[in-house]
Amino acid sequence: MPSSIAQRISPAARRAGRRQRLIAASLIAPFAIVYLSFLVYPTLRVIGLSLTNADIAGVGKFIGLKNYAHLIHDRLFWASLGHTLYFMLLCVVPNTAVGLVFALMLVRLHRARGLAQALFFLPYILPVSVVTVIWIWMFDSSYGVVNFLLHTKIQWFQDAGWAMPSVSFVTIWWTVGFNMLLFLAGLENIPREYYEAAALDGVSRGLQLFRYITWPLLWPVTSLVLILQVLAQWQIFNQVYLLTAGGPANKTIVVLQYMYVQGFQTGHGGYAATIAIVLFILILLTSTLQVRFLRARSD
Amino acid sequence: MKAVRKSILSPITTIATIIVGLIWIFPLYWALNTSLSVDTNTVLIPPAFFPKPMLLDAFAYVIKNTTIVQWYLNSVVSSIVIVVIVLSISMMCAFALSQIRFRASRAVFMAILAGFMIPAATNVIPLFMQLNSLNLVNTYWGLILPQLVSPIAVVIYKQFFDQMPVELSDAAKIDGAGEFRILFRIFLPLNWAITWALAIVLFIWAWNNFFWPFIIINSTPKMTIPVGITQVQSWYGIAYPRQLASAVLAALPTAVLYLIFQRRVAQGVAITSGIK
């Protein structure tokens, strides 16, 4: 449209239009180059790779859908998917609930709010390896403070039953501050008048206020928190790798870790790409939900 | 009566919340406690709740006997390079999309938004091959380049630039200022607040990034600090004070940055998550 108007107006305006396009292109170019080389290109290549028997250097030949056929019967892949889902089950809702509780506690504070907020948020800004070193020590089976306080001798990260719940617990401790911050922003956006109006109608008990005002008005934030966590936790790897290394006996291996093992430890680049594609599709389905939700919010 | 109840309850709520908060960060105290202790203090039952004697031995040992200083430098330099490049290229791209009218503008923006759907983790296999063919495995550029992709910064800058009054750039243009000048002399100074918030959050992300540095770097002296400290473990077997001393050192920069710029970090986190 703008260019057809320019054509009708004058050669000078057309020149100006061309100059504008040139400037726009040169401003966009650096970002575009990075974006195309390190996001778009690898995304396209991973599809091609999944149809080959490439090693980790990318050398191999086309084998059609053989990787996918193999994947369907790969029990360790299904186990890793199951462990990822189990991790989500242990993590997503509790992490959201704890974040909400902390936010509700903080929003009531008139004094020392910055301090209290820092206490809950601080773990979130730590590198994952710092978090895992701390918790390996906390959970140490002989001299750990947790076993001391509980009068137990549990090997939290080595015990088949306890390993995944322990990893989830550590994850919640580490990341709940993020959820809390989002809830806090959401709570502050609820107009005070709603609570005053409710008080006039005779609703004054905290639980009722929460149920009829806070919870429904906070729902957009709650759903955002839930979706962001599901997106992040499809890609869980670091904590699991550092805390349990997928053990005992692959009982906690997760999808991304299986991709890592296939790609970088046994050198099956093509097969690892196939695992990546499946994970990618799962994440894509989740983020489609997110985009729809964000659009609904901005309209 | 209600006001009375509130004034009594308020300090109690505050104190209760602080106590819960202190319990929540007890593991951090515990890390500090152990890092200041000697090895023999970590095998006591009941555990020693204070470092006695309090010593910096573990810190001294880690600094002297590992390449932790090098890991620090690697992390500082790579994180700063990432933040500066990401902010510059995003700012320029957002300026073009927001202030210059051209046909493909909307298509470009939609393409950038589509980038949000692509998870970084599933691309590591082709990325590794790509950098391998460029001979960038185990190099600083190999570490940095893939971390420069950050569509969120473009979207946020565009959002802020869109809110700038049109008269501003019009007036500058009449004065003969070019687009680059308008961006760096007018738009950037007027958006320092968001630039700082983004810079701090991007820095913390880059500093804390684990997965990519873990994959692309395989020689110990080139590691970033979060990956490097996992090596301390394998160097000494179990020696908790040393491991925790290296963990405390690794956590220090981002923790200090957060405590100084608490409100900016909160703002940055809220904005990049799409809540504000």
| Complete DSSP assignment for A186-222 | HHHTS-HHHHHHHHHTT---HHHHIIIIIHHHHHHHH
Rounded CA gap, B73 and A157, in Å?
32
Q: What is the pLDDT of residues B66-83, one digit of tens each?
A: 899 999 999 999 999 999
Shortest Cα distance, chain B CAs vs residue A287, angstroms: 6
Rounded CA gap, A171 and A239, in Å?
7
Work out how many domains chain A is built from and give that number.
Answer: 2
Residue A32 included in any domain: yes
Residue A111 included in any domain: yes
Q: What is the pLDDT of residues B217-236, one digit of tens each?
A: 999 999 999 999 998 766 66
Residue A247: its pLDDT value, please?
84
The confidence band for B10, taking pLDDT boundaries of 50, 70 and 90, is confident
Amino acid at A63: I
pTM, 2 dp:
0.91
- DSSP state letters, B142-179: HHHGGGG--HHHHHHHHHHHHTS-HHHHHHHHHTT--H
Give how far the C-alpha of residue A249 lies from the chain's centroid of Cα atoms, to the nearest Å.
26
Q: What is the mean pLDDT of residues B55-65?
A: 90
Q: What is the mean pLDDT of residues A111-131?
A: 93
Contact B145 A32 (CB under 8 A): no
Residue A181 included in any domain: yes
% of chain A exceeding 90 in pLDDT: 69
Interface with B, mutate which of A18, A20, A39, A259 (most B CBs under 10 A): A39
From A66-75, A222-231, B213-222, the region with the lowest mean pLDDT: A222-231
Residue B235: its pLDDT value, please?
61
Q: Which residues from chain A sit within 8 angstroms of residue B117, using beta carbons?
A: 283-284, 287-288, 291
Contact A178 B273 (CB under 8 A): yes
Q: What is the mean pLDDT of residues B139-147?
A: 96
- The answer to whether residue B42 scores a pLDDT higher than 90 is no
Fold of B60-272: MetI-like fold (1.10.3720)
Q: Report the CATH number that the domain containing residue A161 is assigned in CATH.
A: 1.10.3720.10
Partner residue facing B28 (CB), from A57, A122, A148: A122
Of B209, B193, B98, B84, the closest CA to residue B154 belongs to B98
Residue B1: its pLDDT value, please?
42
Q: What is the mean pLDDT of residues A121-147?
A: 94
Residue A76: its pLDDT value, please?
96
Contact B211 A228 (CB under 8 A): no
Asked whether residue A38 falls in the same domain as residue A186, the answer is: no
What single-letter DSSP state applies at residue B104? T
Residue A57 included in any domain: no
- The answer to whether residue B199 scores a pLDDT higher than 80 is yes
Partner residue facing B129 (CB), from A114, A269, A283: A269
Q: Which residues from chain A sit within 8 angstroms of residue B132, using beta carbons?
A: 56-58
Give me the half-sphere count of Cα atoms (radius 13 Å) on the Cβ side of residue A162: 11
Asked whether residue A45 falls in the same domain as residue A91, the answer is: no
Shortest Cα distance, chain B CAs vs residue A159, angstroms: 19
Contact A182 B275 (CB under 8 A): yes
Asked whether residue A152 falls in the same domain as residue A217, the answer is: yes
Of A254, A286, A283, A256, the closest CA to residue A272 belongs to A256
The per-residue pLDDT of chain A, averaged, comes to 90
- The answer to whether residue B2 scores a pLDDT higher than 60 is no
Residue A6: its pLDDT value, please?
46
Give how far the C-alpha of residue A277 lies from the chain's centroid of Cα atoms, to the nearest Å.
17
Partner residue facing B118 (CB), from A37, A43, A272: A43
Partner residue facing B13 (CB), from A41, A109, A142: A109
Partner residue facing B211 (CB), from A37, A135, A238: A238
Asked whether residue A41 falls in the same domain as residue A89, the answer is: no
Asked whether residue A16 falls in the same domain as residue A148, the answer is: no
Shortest Cα distance, chain B CAs vs residue A109, angstroms: 6
Strand partners, A62: A52
Q: Which residues from chain B sit within 8 angstroms of residue A179, using beta carbons?
A: none
Residue bearing tokens 């473990």: B233
CB contacts < 8 Å between A and B, how many?
280
Residue A135 included in any domain: yes
- The answer to whether residue A243 scores a pLDDT higher than 50 is yes
Residue A208 included in any domain: yes
Q: Is the peptide bond before B27 cis (omega within 30 degrees of 0)?
A: no
Q: Which residues from chain A sit within 8 angstroms of residue B250, using beta carbons?
A: 127, 129-130
Rounded CA gap, B76 and B70, in Å?
10
The per-residue pLDDT of chain B, averaged, comes to 89
Shortest Cα distance, chain A CAs vs residue B196, angstroms: 17
The structural domains of chain B, with segments of one domain joined by +, span 2-59, 60-272
Q: What is the mean pLDDT of residues A58-77?
A: 94
What are the angstrom distances between the C-alpha of B128 and each of A23, B89, B122, B125, B217?
Answer: 34, 23, 11, 5, 11
Residue B46: its pLDDT value, please?
79
Q: What is the pLDDT of residues A70-99, one digit of tens each?
A: 999 999 999 999 999 999 999 999 999 999
Q: At what angle do helices B2-24 and A75-107 cross, to 10 degrees?
A: 140
Q: What is the mean pLDDT of residues A180-208?
A: 86
- The answer to whether residue B155 scores a pLDDT higher than 60 is yes
Asked whether residue A187 falls in the same domain as residue A226, the answer is: yes
Contact B269 A291 (CB under 8 A): no
Q: Which residue of B has its CA nearest to A137?
A: B240
- Tokens standing for A210? 């929460």
- The answer to whether residue A12 scores a pLDDT higher than 90 is no
From A115-129, A225-239, B82-96, B230-244, the region with the lowest mean pLDDT: B230-244
Q: Which residues from chain A sit within 8 angstroms of residue B112, using beta carbons?
A: 35
Asked whether residue A33 falls in the same domain as residue A128, the answer is: no
- The answer to whether residue B22 scores a pLDDT higher than 50 is yes
- The answer to whether residue B259 scores a pLDDT higher than 50 is yes
The whole domain housing A20 covers 2-49
Q: What is the mean pLDDT of residues B32-45?
A: 85
From A292-296, B35-39, B76-80, B116-120, the region with the lowest mean pLDDT: A292-296
Residue A62 included in any domain: no
Q: Which residues from chain A sit within 8 angstroms of residue B210, using beta carbons?
A: 127-129, 238
- The answer to whether residue A297 scores a pLDDT higher than 70 is no
From A34-38, A39-43, B177-181, the region with the lowest mean pLDDT: B177-181
Residue A56 included in any domain: no
Q: What is the mean pLDDT of residues A172-182?
A: 96
Contacting residues for B257 by C-beta, under 8 A, at least 6 apart: A125, B200, B203, B204, B265
Asked whether residue A44 falls in the same domain as residue A8, the answer is: yes
Asked whether residue A22 falls in the same domain as residue A148, the answer is: no
Residue A298: its pLDDT value, please?
52
Asked whether residue A95 falls in the same domain as residue A138, the answer is: yes
Top mean-pLDDT range of A56-60, A128-132, A291-295: A128-132
